[in-house]
Amino acid sequence: MNRSLFSVATRVTFSLALLSVTTTLVAYRLADRPRRDVLELQRKRSICESLAISCSLHAGRRDTEAIEANLQSVIRRNPDIASARLVKGDGVVVAEIGDHQRHWHLTTTGASTEHCIQVPISDSGKQWGRLEISFTSAQQDRFARWLHHPVTVMGLATVVLNGLLFRWYLGKILTYLNPSTAVPPHVRSTIDTFSEGVAVIDNSGRIVLANRAFAKSVLLTTEDVIGKRLDRFAWQAEADQPLPWNVSVLGTNQSTSLRLSHDQLGERTYLVSASVIKDDHNKRRGVIVSFDDITGMVQKREELRYMLTELQRSRDELTERNRELQVLATRDPLTSCLNRRTFFEVFDREWNHATRAKLPLSCAMVDIDFFKSINDKYGHSKGDKVLRTVAATLNSSVSSQHVVCRYGGEEFCILMQSTDIDGGERVAEKLRKAISDLDFGPLKVTASLGVSAISLGGSSPQELLDQADKCLYVAKRNGRNQVVRWDDVPEDMSAEEKPVDRLEPEESVPYAAVASLISALAYRHADTAAHSTRVAELAVATARGLMSVKDAYILEIGALLHDIGKIGVPDSILLKPGPLTEEEWQVMLVHDRIGVEIIDSAFCNSQLQDILRYHHLHYLRSDSGDQLPQGEAIPLGARIVAIADAYDAIVSDRVYRKGRSQAAAFEELRRCSGTQFDPDLVERFIQTVTDHRTLDLPMTSKLTAMQIGIQIDHLTKAVDDEDRAGIVSLASRLRATAAHCQITAIEDVAAALHAAAAAGDEITDLLDLTSELVVLCQQTQRVYAQAPALQACDSTQLSSVGS
């Protein structure tokens, strides 16, 4: 018979009917057997009949003694006989055994009962008398008689057999009986709509109800999972962690994650929650368990953890790369001493601290004697070795608090904190002896040193450097290889050799403010900042020997800031990939006026203002009605910046053209010599560039790498903080920088990141793009850090002051 043709109720009803018939038949067979009371009555009758026959025989012979003996013998053999009496027809008692009066309850004409039986005795066909036998009373055996009654036996047998069989059958059938038939259809539909799997188990751990989602997760149908133990599936938990429904059976609600492996579905992860089901009497009836498939979330979490790890690793690598770039930006690559700009920042800071705390501060200028002849005679490689060795000697001979700077060419500067003029002189003498003791074979190297201190009247860091530089000049004039301190320099000699107007000193130019403007310009337009840096290096190298250290510092600042006005030029013009129109040129020319206004408001230094104001003036002009200076009246710094600016513009690449060769640049400068440029300075500039082997490679490498590194550092922090506005802004900046530097790969990814962040994409998607962007930027930094362009940039800085 096909079970699918009948409902569960029909099958159960039919099975119970069969069991009922079976138990009834068995009970009937148990009840259909000889009754004990009937058998007992038959036995008693048989005894009475046998005794009556015997008594009849003895009565015919009138043998009363035999009758009495026979009665006693029968009573002895049958203990249940209480008494016996033989009575003749006339009422005369022939024989009596036992207390018959007490046990006999029948009248003469009464019918025999179960306990009192009388049997007539005949003699010659006539009734001679009667035999009365009383058996023990059965009052105490009523329950036994009731228990052995057929109806009782059948009823008890039916109850016991039905109980046993029904218990066995229902225990069997309820294991596989689908309890969903007892669940209302709308409740069942609601459970099946759950996206997570739901299973209800009894206290033995067997599934009594499950929805389609759970059945699907174990690759079975809802009918097949019913009756199975939930533990039989290959759940994988953490080590020593019990399954949540087993803990819940103990009385507490549990939630944890479990893994389940399938050949078809692979390994899936579920968030499993188990809750105890109790009845109205607070007794535990089972556990309801939910299975939420979190495989996708776990995979995303692992991917996110991996991306965060990679991002952290990239960030650490980026930080390390930025640190290396910072070292390259602050250290001289040949000697590892501080470069000029970083030294000025430290000098300003230490000067301010010393003046506020009223602490001593000394400065020493060191110049290697006859260094130019060393280069000429032994070559530049030997000169570089001398520079490295002298720098190492200076660094190892001074205190850790002292700062050693390669000021330019063969000149070094040492800043000595908490050191007065006497201490500074002792340090300088120690350095002089250490340098003179260096062994270069047949080459003898000495150095001249000039020392000054804040206590000797210097009003600014520039003036203190100027004093040390004048002492150095005196030391060289007096025969070299000696130390001269500022208070030992004759007043008339210092005035003659280094005329300085101290009546109306110019306001100082804090380098921190200069660095801020340069950073702003680099962030606005990296190429312009790189161009300004190269112009500054070339200008300072050309001015060496033409002006004091203080004036050279102002010249360097003026060259660095000569294009600061481009901050106010629109991106559409500043970043245009092609030649400018006439109208755009007019807008571009305004940047000179903007730059002068920025310098006027930031620094009260007329010398610096004049460099920015006049560096575009031609040396000689036919029309002088504008009252502007020309010829030698143009400040020296402005004339030098004009030549360096033009040279770098010629040799540098532009978006719309390639840079020209150094020879072509020299030819163009000479062609404009005497009209646009000072002819003497042109030749000096050419000689300076030639002597120091200035390479016409772009200097944007370091600045671009640093700028990208800084922006990426900010970008990763913005992603960590989920700062979408910051991500949009930084991605836009990075895209503009990459576009301007023609780094297409970074530009494309930055544009995609900008679009994704602006569109509100998930932070995980932004992490993917950020990770890709970090890798590209790191590759760019590695290229820039290893490229010859970066070395050319630093070698330009090496020779900025010249020998």
Q: Report the catalytic residues.
A: 410
Report residue 261: phi and psi, to 5°: -100, 135
DSSP 140: G
Strands in 207-210's sheet, in edge-to-edge order, are 207-210, 197-201, 284-293, 266-278, 254-262, 235-236
Pairing of strands 284-293, 197-201: antiparallel
CB atoms near residue 598 (< 10 Å): 18
Q: What is the dihedral of CA 12, 17, 21, 24, to 10 degrees?
A: 90
CB atoms near residue 59 (< 10 Å): 22
Q: Which residues contact 293 (CB under 8 A, 6 or more apart)?
A: 196, 197, 217, 268, 269, 270
The angle subtended at Cα 434 by Cα 429 and Cα 437, nearest 5°, is 125
CA distance 334 to 795: 8
CA distance 13 to 3: 13
Alpha helices in 293-402 (DSSP H): 295-330, 340-357, 371-378, 380-397
Single out the residue of 461, 466, 542 nearest to residue 499, CA to CA: 466
Alpha helices in 461-576 (DSSP H): 461-477, 491-497, 511-524, 526-543, 549-560, 571-574
CA distance 611 to 615: 6
Maximum distance among all alpha carbons in the chain? 196
Q: Which residues contact 647 (CB under 8 A, 6 or more apart)?
A: 538, 665, 669, 685, 689
DSSP 121: E
Query: Helix, strand or coil for residue 15?
Result: helix
Query: Helix, strand or coil for residue 635?
Result: coil
Tokens 């036919």 appear where?
622
CA distance 440 to 286: 94
CB 603 within 8 A of CB 549: no
Q: At what angle do helices 549-560 and 511-524 cross, to 10 degrees?
A: 20
Tokens of 157: 């047998």
Pairing of strands 361-368, 447-453: antiparallel
DSSP 544: B
CB 769 within 8 A of CB 756: yes
